[in-house]
Amino acid sequence: MSHKLKVGELKEDYLTDEEIWRIFTVVLSTKSVKSSTYKYALIKSIIENLYQIDDNHQLTYNQLAYGFAKIYWNLVVHHDLENQNRGDRNAKAVTVILEFQKKHAIPNEFSYDKINDQLQLKLVSKIKTVMKTNVFGALYGDTGGQFYAFDHSREYFKIKKNVHQFMMKYQLLLVNLTNYHMAKMIEELNEVPSINYLLEKVETVAKRSSLKPFERVLLHYFEASCFYCGKDLSKQKQPTEVDHFIPWSFVQSDQIWNLVLSCRHCNNTKRDKLPEREYLNFIIDRNKVLKEKVIESQSLLENYKDKKIIMLYDYSIKNGFDEIWVPRRG
C-alpha cells in the first residue's frame, strides 16, 4: 500500500496541463480513497510553500510539517473540529495535537501563530513523524508518482518542475478546490453544532427531488426494460429506476436525453461510472426515437444534439470519470 512507502521516485514523463488537471480532479474527488483529511492538508501545505521551493524544486519536511501542523491545530483546537478520520479511531495527527495541547496547557483560544516558537518546533517534529507514516506515500500513490519524489531517511521532497509551474499558475483555483473538498469531508465527519452542512445544501440545490415525471414519459413511449441489461422491468418486484447515463455528479442537471430506465442492480453497480462506449450509440439511437415519438419533445429535447451527449461523455472522462462500467447482460 502506497501510504507505507518510505521512498518514492519521481516519474520523469512530461505532463501537459490537461494531464495534471486530470490527476488533480481524481485526487480531490471521491475516486481517491480517503480515510482522513490528510491528503487535502498535504496539498494545502505544498501550495503554502510554492514560493519557498529551492532552485532544485525541493522542500524540507519541516516546511511541509509546519503547514500541516498549523492546519490541524487551527481546525481541531481553535475551531473544535476534532473528527478528521473515518471509523472509530481519530486521525493520529489529531491525537498528537490534543495530547500536546493538554501537556502544555495551551488554551483553545490560541490559534497556531500564538503558540511560542519553541513549542511550535516541538509540535512540528511530532507531526513530521505522523506524516512519514501516513501522508507522503498516500498522496504519492494517488498521483502515480507523477507529482513529487520523497525519501524519509533523507527527509527529501522534490516536486516536478512543470507541476510546480502549474500549481503557481492555477494557485487560487487549486486553493478553492482543495478547501471545498476538505470542508465537505469535515462536514461529513463532524456533527452539529460544529457545522450546519451548508456545503451539502449548496451542492444539491440543483438536484430534483424526484425523477418520476421523466420515468412516466419513458414508460409511456418505450418498453419497460432496463436500458443496460435488457431485463423486463414490468415483471420485477422492485420499482423501476431512472439513471443518469452520464453521472449527475458531472452533468449537474436532469435532461431526459441523459436519462434511461434501469433495473436496481444496474443502477446500483453503475453509480458514478460511465457505461462502455457502445452504449453511447444506443442512447443516441434512443434519443432519435424519443424526438420522433414524444409530443412534449419541443420542451424536453430543446437544444439537444447528438454531439452534445458525445461531448459530455468525452469531457466526463477528462474530468476523472474514467472508470468504465460494463453491464451484466441477459
Q: What is the mean pLDDT of residues 306-310?
A: 93
Angle between helices 38-48 and 171-189 (to 10 degrees): 150
Of 165-174, 186-195, 240-249, 303-312, minimum mean pLDDT range: 186-195
Q: Per-residue pLDDT for 329 more than 90?
A: no
Query: d(Cα 254, Cα 259) in Å, to the nearest integer?
Result: 7
Q: How far apart are CA 147 and CA 32, in angstroms?
A: 15
Across the range 181-187, mean pLDDT stands at 88
Residue 262 burial (C-beta neighbours within 10 Å; 0-12, 13-18, 19+): buried
Distance CA 262, CA 281 (A): 17
CA–centroid distance for 168 within its chain? 21
* CA distances (Å), origin 115, targets 49, 61, 71, 73, 245: 21, 20, 14, 10, 53
Every domain of the chain and the residues it spans: 2-203, 212-325
User: What are 88-103's pLDDT values in tens digits?
Assistant: 778 899 999 999 999 9
Q: Would you state the pLDDT for residue 205?
A: 62
R_g (Cα) of the chain, nearest Å: 24
Model pLDDT, residue 84: 77
**Average pLDDT over every residue of 256-261:** 94
- 4/138 Cα distance (integer angstroms): 8
Three cell numbers at 76? 481541531
pLDDT per residue as tens digits for the range 262-292: 999 999 999 999 999 999 999 999 999 988 8
What pLDDT sits at residue 104? 95
pLDDT at residue 29 tops 80 = yes
**Has residue 222 got a pLDDT over 70?**
yes
Whether residue 131 has pLDDT greater than 90: yes
